[in-house]
Structure 1
């Protein structure tokens, strides 16, 4: 037989209404009493009725997560798994659940968001991207619905909470790393061109080249399309240039795997003929052959602090919006070598 509020109240020596207020985290109940009652609840194996708590508190204790792409594409890439792991950790610490978008297109993902908001299925939302011509963020702003972005907003950055890396600086450092190895012909393989992270990293790459007085070759800048991680066409285009690059900055470990496979197919060895530095320091970078030199973006922290900041905002509605920059660092492995 399940344990009830009355059972907990009797064991704790308090009124059932006090137990209810502890569950609702009422400020009228002292921390001493809360601690005592929660200990009894834990010892007795009491599990609160979340549906009842939603009615009392007018809150779902659930955070929505809006994926960058369809769930099938997003979960292919371990970067998003690590971000979600960080979000999940923060939610677990604060007794929140997660609700993920499952749409297979931008329009379907947007419809999922409308259902979350209008159906009061979540208390707030984490948006895992920042991009041009996005429907989600303007909608959330119009609805005055709490949200945070993983990525710097392309509009009204001062009015929107976000957690990000300094992607301009990170890409600048990655490009400079290759320059210090003696490379002059350096290409960059980005994500989709309309995402803010891609724009920032291309900017950092260009700044590094300019600082060293190297000419910028538009043919060395390539973008991923339609969420695909297949690097075959991009590799063929780069190798087909009159003067192919000798080094590549690739914006994602997972995409780097495909590029390296395509290079190998073309008879180009890494790092013998082509040096490669990527981003994110996921498990892919450690298991790749050769192992990848990569920029550690601390994906788990990006996820953790996005959710933690959002939950803090829910608990303190009057709090000023926070924006956090998570530091990055280069992890040296086997995919780069000095240019002779």
Structure 2
């Protein structure tokens, strides 16, 4: 016969209600009691009936991560892999499962989220990045369904979110290039509808304006978070009559494309072009030359997003807790950024 809560309670010398509270991570159960009960559960081979528990508590102990584009394209960029790794680690620590919901368009995202929300198949939703006028944010807000945004919402600054101060991060990165003596600094950005792209462009503009340097439209190239966008940017920027001597690139993966596009133009980094990027993925250090990059704490962003959402869906959620968290950033200087000639 399967082991029951009563069997565990009898062996642990506690009441069945105490065992139930341990299973639900009740804050009034001491760490020592919880540890003892869990050890006995393991020894006896007890496994809670999660389906029955969810029917009683009206919770699923599951979170949904909404992918903003087809998974095969998304996972080409290691940023999202590291972000999801942090999300899953914190969720597992707190006893939650994570569902992945793909979508190739905003319409498909809405349909996928609607199925999960209306069917009460998850307790909350994590959106991996923010867009202007995001219909998924609108949908979740209208239904008062718990969600957390990795990024920020310009329309709704009160939504629960975890973010880097991307304006400041780009400002700091641009000032690093300015301090090296560069006066012709270009920007390779991401999709303009994404808030992170707009914020990093704003930080770049601010730094140049404060230094009295020109912000020239032909030195700003927008694209996707893919290597091909970096290659394309090089074909546009490096053939200008007056080209930048340094570039601020929105993402390490795009910066790899920049490096790929330079040999055919007979240009070298940092001798002919200095380069600073964002996210500090492992491949930034392994590139040739290693890329100076802003470390935004991707794994920490993921863990913070999970933790924030789990706190929000708990029965005793603290409504006064801050809804917006900022993960600190730091610039890692490597060989790709050198002094201007």
TM range (shorter): over 0.9
Return closer, same or farther for 1:5/1:329 CA change in 2, 3 Å cut-off.
Answer: same
| Alpha-carbon distance in structure 2 between the residues aligned to 1:232 and 1:30 | 57
| Pairing 1:211-290 to 2, within 5 Å after superposition | 211-225=210-224, 228-230=226-228, 231-290=230-289
SS of aligned partner of 1:241:
coil
| Alpha-carbon distance in structure 2 between the residues aligned to 1:36 and 1:229 | 51
Structure 1 match to 2:306: 307
TM-superposed deviation, 1:26: 6.1
| Alpha-carbon distance in structure 2 between the residues aligned to 1:253 and 1:129 | 17
TM-superposition CA deviations, 1:47-97 (whole Å, max 9, x none): 212111111211010111112322212211111111111111211111011
8 A contact 2:279–2:297 mirrored in 1:
yes
TM-superposed deviation, 1:269: 1.1
Structure 2 match to 1:125: 125
TM-superposed deviation, 1:116: 1.5
TM-superposition CA deviations, 1:265-288 (whole Å, max 9, x none): 222111121111000011111111
What TM-score do you get using the length of structure 1 for normalisation? 0.93
TM-superposition CA deviations, 1:297-328 (whole Å, max 9, x none): 11011111111111112223342342111111
SS of aligned partner of 2:186:
strand
TM-superposed deviation, 1:188: 0.5
SS of aligned partner of 1:339:
coil
Structure 2 match to 1:40: 40
Structure 1 match to 2:203: 204
| Pairing 1:1-340 to 2, within 5 Å after superposition | 2-14=2-14, 16=16, 19-20=19-20, 22-24=22-24, 34-157=34-157, 159-225=158-224, 228-230=226-228, 231-315=230-314, 316-320=316-320, 321-340=322-341
**Structure 1 range deviating more: 76-85 or 33-42:** 33-42
| Alpha-carbon distance in structure 1 between the residues aligned to 2:11 and 2:183 | 74
| Alpha-carbon distance in structure 2 between the residues aligned to 1:16 and 1:153 | 45
TM-superposed deviation, 1:210: 0.8
TM-superposed deviation, 1:42: 2.2
8 A contact 1:193–1:223 mirrored in 2:
yes
| Alpha-carbon distance in structure 2 between the residues aligned to 1:113 and 1:5 | 35
8 A contact 1:130–1:154 mirrored in 2:
no
| Alpha-carbon distance in structure 1 between the residues aligned to 2:112 and 2:129 | 16
8 A contact 2:133–2:155 mirrored in 1:
no
| Alpha-carbon distance in structure 2 between the residues aligned to 1:124 and 1:252 | 28
| Alpha-carbon distance in structure 1 between the residues aligned to 2:175 and 2:181 | 10
8 A contact 1:252–1:280 mirrored in 2:
yes
TM-superposed deviation, 1:153: 0.9
TM-superposition CA deviations, 1:240-290 (whole Å, max 9, x none): 211011111001001110111011222211112111100001111111111
Gaps of at least 5 residues in structure 1 are none
8 A contact 1:281–1:297 mirrored in 2:
yes
| Alpha-carbon distance in structure 2 between the residues aligned to 1:107 and 1:98 | 22
| Alpha-carbon distance in structure 2 between the residues aligned to 1:307 and 1:96 | 9
| Alpha-carbon distance in structure 2 between the residues aligned to 1:289 and 1:58 | 53
**Structure 1 range deviating more: 204-213 or 32-41:** 32-41
Return closer, same or farther for 1:100/1:243 CA change in 2, 3 Å cut-off.
Answer: same
The RMSD of aligned alpha carbons is: 2.0
8 A contact 1:167–1:201 mirrored in 2:
yes
Aligned length: 338
